[in-house]
Amino acid sequence: MAKLVMAAVTPHNPLLWRAMRDPMPDDLAAVRKNFSTIRDTIRELEVDVAVVVGTDHIRQFFFDNSPAFIIGKAESYHGTYENEVRTFGMDYAELQGHRELSDEISGRTVLPENIDFAVSYEWRLDHGFVIPLQYVIPDLDIPIVPIHVNAALPPMPSPRRFAALGDHLRDTIERWDSDARVALLTSGHMATDVGGPKQFAGSPDPVFDAEAVGWMRDGDLEAAIHGCRFDRIMAAGNITYQYVNAITALAAMNSAPADLAEATESRFASSPFFMWRAA
């Protein structure tokens, strides 16, 4: 059977793409180090396929069509939008899909009991997927299964639904009749506010950041679910809800304490870095 060998959570801030260049700025050295730790772990564990859970930034999925959970079933994916190239200097990307694992996760004939997936056969991935992959799989040579989770457009799934997704991914991968070694990669934010006076002024809510690191460090799934209720998490910053993507990784790893749990400070507020290696 297949094995879920690791899970990781990273930032996906596209501003990093221009800023993280040699000579590396002092305030971004720790960000690069944590990306490198995850990249090296993927290589060490000889990952064959990556399930990538991310949030589209209202490019592919809009108010008129935004299911809670969407899984890609394409053979390949184009990555990066034109404005991301212009504004952030990002590269276009071509990524290989993994149809067999997509079918296992979504259900080949009937949807799974606990998660209702929409399906996309044509999907252009934005920086929420491409930025993490370009740092932790820089050659983009590992096939992926992308899953969009709506953490941007209300009404959004509750934190407990993100935990249900993580449970489903773990159970499905462990039942998959394959010898593949699978990584779960996801990304999001610590306390972050975009477009207001708190932007680029350090963390808008250091208390939330400290608690949110603790949930992952201690493997406390129930505390994370409670702490990510909508009113609390939005008070921490207007796009902080994408932190709930980390709950998927914690649940997928059976609420084990993270091997790496850090809110890495930089000029762009704090960046989430969490990683688990399977026992």
Q: To the nearest 5 percent, what fractions of the chain are helix, strand and coil?
A: 40, 25, 40
The pLDDT tens digits for 108-147 are 888 888 899 999 998 999 999 999 999 999 999 999 999 9
Domain 3-277 has CATH 3.40.830.10: yes
Q: How many CA atoms lie within 13 A of 236 on its CB side?
A: 27
Helix or strand run (H / E) with residue 264: strand 260-266
The pLDDT tens digits for 44-63 are 999 999 999 999 888 788 87
Torsion of CA 273, 101, 99, 5, to 10 degrees: 40
Cα–Cα distance, 204 to 211 (Å, whole number): 14
The pLDDT tens digits for 224-272 are 999 999 999 988 887 889 999 999 999 999 999 999 999 999 888 899 9
Q: Is the pTM of this model over 0.85?
A: yes
List the structure tokens of 123: 């999907």
Q: DSSP secondary structure string, 98-161? A: -HHHHHHHH-SSS--SS---EEESS-EE-HHHHHHHHHHSTT--S-EEEEEE--SSSS---HHH
Q: Strand, helix or coil at 94?
A: strand
- Where in the chain are the domains? 3-277
